[in-house]
Amino acid sequence: MKARFKEVEFGSHSVEVIDGGYYDRYRMNPDLDEVAKDPVVGNIDYFRRIPKQMVTSRVGPTWAPNFYYRTCSIQLLFLAPIDRLRATLPAPLEPLRALPGLGLVALTFFSYSVCDNDPYDEVSVAIVIRRPGAKGSHALELLDSMRRRNFVAHVLALPVSTEIARVRGVHGYQLPKWRTDIEVKIGSEVTASIQGPNGKADLILQAPLPALEIAIPQSRLGTTTMVHQVDGRWHQTRVQSNTLAYAQKLLPPNVRLSRNGGPLSQLLDGLGASRLLRLDVVKDAQIALHLPTLLEGLH
């Protein structure tokens, strides 16, 4: 049955949301006991340990963090020349060096099938950076980040597939979002695509699915921190994750990424992101997205 939509006020904006969907019913402040009754959601104990609060934001008072109850993602981690990454990053951000002369660029396709602001898909192109204020060995910092599953990144592009996700991202977070068609599928193989402005595919990804591992709930927690500017000042936005089913492959064979000249293809080409280091597939995960907080001492 095709979803029906309705107009709602979101800050000073009017956006379309699913009639009777999560945003329409809960306005970002869900009753977790009611959510738990949704058969597609699964166990939500993870979210009970992250209480929501009403906070001020650029779009007015809002409940945070934003909960993503069922998600999946496909990530390609590329090596890229450190000089190109350094030239792309705004000062004082610094790329994290993975190998001599090489840093890391992550291309990630996300699909959020159940979340507080209704289902949508998203694509991220991000440079892995040093933690603000970090000194000393890049290698030790990278190893520590891998061990703790705690990475810091600067996002260069973050297109999404729905209007509320675009409005939230642009006006609430000042992230580089625009709206376009995105598709993410994880079956016997993984496939994903994003449409460019000319109506044709910008990127098309196809790869075999590596062997999946099932994690004990809340045993594989991670945090990605986005560092970005909001109203001219540096902020950090934390993304906490509880991974439940995943697969990883170092130097994966038979991964095909077609670049067809759209904005993300041009971005990856400009960064020199051509040497594929790792494929990460997350078939099931839960995510909590926080609002940006001011980064003291970063100018």
Q: What is the pLDDT of residues 34-81, one digit of tens each?
A: 999 999 999 999 999 999 999 988 888 889 999 999 999 999 999 999
DSSP string, 215-245: PPTTSSEEEEEEEEEETTEEEEEEEEEEEEE
d(CA 36, CA 23): 16
For the chain, list the domains and their CATH numbers: 70-294 (2.40.400.10)
Q: If you average pLDDT over residues 236-254, what whole number do you get?
A: 96
Nearest to 262 by CA among 125, 142, 163: 125
Place of tokens 């995105």: 182
What is the reported pTM?
Answer: 0.96
Is a pLDDT exceeding 70 seen at residue 108?
yes
In which band, very low, low, confident or very high, does the pLDDT at 133 lie, cut at 50, 70 and 90? confident
Task: Give the separation between CA 88 and CA 2, rounded to whole angstroms.
Answer: 42
The model's confidence at residue 178, banded by pLDDT at 50, 70 and 90, is: very high
